[in-house]
Amino acid sequence: MNSSDVSQAGSTPEAKGYRPTGRRETKPPAASTVYLEPGALVPSATSATRMGLEHTTEPFSYDAILLSGFGGPEGQDDVLPFLRNVTRGRGIPDERLEEVAHHYRHFDGVSPINDHNRGLLAALRSALAEVGLDLPVYWGNRNWAPYLDEALEQAAADGVRTILAIPTSAYSSYSSCRQYREDWADALEATGLAGKLSIDKVRQFFSHPGFLQPFVEGVRAGVLEAIAAGNDADAVEIMFATHSIPTADAELSGAGLFTDTEGGGYAAQHLAAATEIIAQAAPGTSWQLVYQSRSGPPSQPWLEPDINDAINELEGRTAVVIVPLGFVSDHMEVMWDLDEEATETATERGLWVTRVPTPGVHPAFVGALVDLVQERIEGRPVEQRASATTIGAWFDVCRPGCCENPRLGFKPAIAGLQP
């Protein structure tokens, strides 16, 4: 890219009246459209994915990697602006947001997620270099600084034209996949880089053995710790916890492949991952999939059971091992909903309890992310891709209509077939 291209990319946002300068409190506005190259089926895609094949086997040399996080506040003054970003478009007043804000305020307004992503960013850069991949890695968040649009602007200024994005979420649902794709579209439009930058994404990695390995080790250690504390092996309950979502959203997750499964693809992917973890770490141990962190009106059905209800309903158990299966790193939902509330519920019931670590920067997890990059650069056939569950390697390109939010409808999104 020459200097005139850099100048043009930088001037377009200002021409639209969008001027991201310094640290700001608002995420980019919602996109009104997406760029679709003539003849292509996938918007803002590279030549490897623009025709929408389920799995691409075309080798492709990307210019850069985009680590995409959820974002989190890093001080008391950040909390409400951050929550406004998270809930944008839902019309939730600040008074209601304060009901959630107290979780953050309990920890001085600081979520651990940004520091975890800084660590993951450094580990990913190092691991890519170790395998000989000379690729810059940019980091942008959906809901707090550094924002996705800031990362894309920097990438464009550095001469980047093709990006492979890694969302920090392993599963299929509106909030854990499609909303990332919408926010990439928002960032491209807000910066005027739609049509200039192409963004593909790695597949959902719930089935990758490197993602599962930290949980295997954590479950194995947790069960042994429970037994060492005097609990019988058959009195241990393993609870795989993930963020609850509205049942209507869950039914539309998973590309329509799990319409007969309660909880759709979102639940099916978690169950497949948990089944493999148990098989490796604690065969024969009692376990269940539970949910946490639900919100929304009581009249709206969400996936159940809630972890606290499940703990209260345990019979014949003396120990609980909590596994934050839905998270790649410690979030506020892990620190508050699991380490505080669920742990308190178990303690009040007289149960021994421990929570196993999230993958974080575990070498196996970082290695899995590198492998996801390598399989796309190589154009690796799907049958040769790493997968440890019965579901197998997920799609490279999101399928049409997957993970719709029925309350919001389809918004502009990239890295998938429309809508």
CATH of the domain at 168: 3.40.50.1400
Decide if 36 is inside a domain: yes
Decide if 278 is inside a domain: yes
Cβ-contact 34, 133 below 8 angstroms = no
Distance CA 196, CA 204 (A): 25
DSSP sequence for 18-43: ----SS-S-PPPPPS-----TT-SST
The one-letter code for the residue type at 194 is A
Spatial CB neighbours of 193, under 8 Å, sequence gap ≥ 6: 9, 12, 152, 153, 156, 187
Domain count for the chain, please give it: 2
Same domain, 349 and 368: no
Same domain, 8 and 143: yes
Sign of the Cα torsion 204, 210, 214, 219 reads: positive
Residue indicated by tokens 């093709």 = 162
Residue 169: which of 237, 245, 239 has the closest Cα?
A: 245
Same domain, 146 and 272: no
Same domain, 326 and 368: no
Same domain, 22 and 125: yes
DSSP code at position 338:
I
Distance CA 206, CA 191 (A): 32
Decide if 419 is inside a domain: no
Same domain, 110 and 226: no
Decide if 408 is inside a domain: no
Distance CA 397, CA 129 (A): 26
Distance CA 417, CA 413 (A): 9
Residue indicated by tokens 């839905």 = 326
pLDDT at 22: 56
pLDDT at 10: 33
pLDDT at 357: 98
Residue 12, exposed/middle/buried by CB under 10 A (0-12, 13-18, 19+)?
middle
Same domain, 158 and 278: no
Distance CA 419, CA 415 (A): 11
Domain residue limits at 303: 209-355
pLDDT at 9: 32
Decide if 39 is inside a domain: yes
Q: How far is CA 165 from CA 66, 91, 200, 403, in A?
A: 4, 30, 6, 18
Same domain, 53 and 195: yes
Same domain, 254 and 184: no
Q: How far is CA 135 from CA 164, 193, 371, in A?
A: 10, 20, 14
Residue 194: which of 149, 144, 147 has the closest Cα?
A: 149
Cβ-contact 346, 192 below 8 angstroms = no
Decide if 168 is inside a domain: yes
Question: Among 316, 335, 355, which residue terminates a domain?
Answer: 355
354: which 2 tokens? 């421990």
Distance CA 58, CA 397 (A): 13
Same domain, 156 and 305: no
pLDDT at 13: 37
DSSP sequence for 157-223: HTT--EEEEEES--S-SIIIIIHHHHHHHHHHHHHT-BTTBEEEEPPP-TT-HHHHHHHHHHHHHHH
Decide if 410 is inside a domain: no
pLDDT at 91: 84
Same domain, 217 and 324: yes
394: which 2 tokens? 């997920």
The tens place of each residue's pLDDT in the chain, 419 residues long, gives 333 222 223 333 332 333 444 569 999 999 999 999 999 999 999 999 999 999 999 999 999 999 999 999 999 999 999 999 999 988 889 999 998 899 999 999 999 999 999 999 999 999 999 999 999 999 999 999 999 999 999 999 999 999 999 999 999 999 999 999 999 999 999 999 999 999 999 999 999 999 999 999 999 999 999 999 999 999 999 999 999 999 999 999 999 999 999 999 999 999 999 999 999 999 999 999 999 999 888 899 999 999 999 999 999 999 999 999 999 999 999 999 999 999 999 999 999 999 999 999 999 999 999 999 999 999 999 999 999 999 999 999 999 999 999 988 899 999 999 99
Decide if 65 is inside a domain: yes
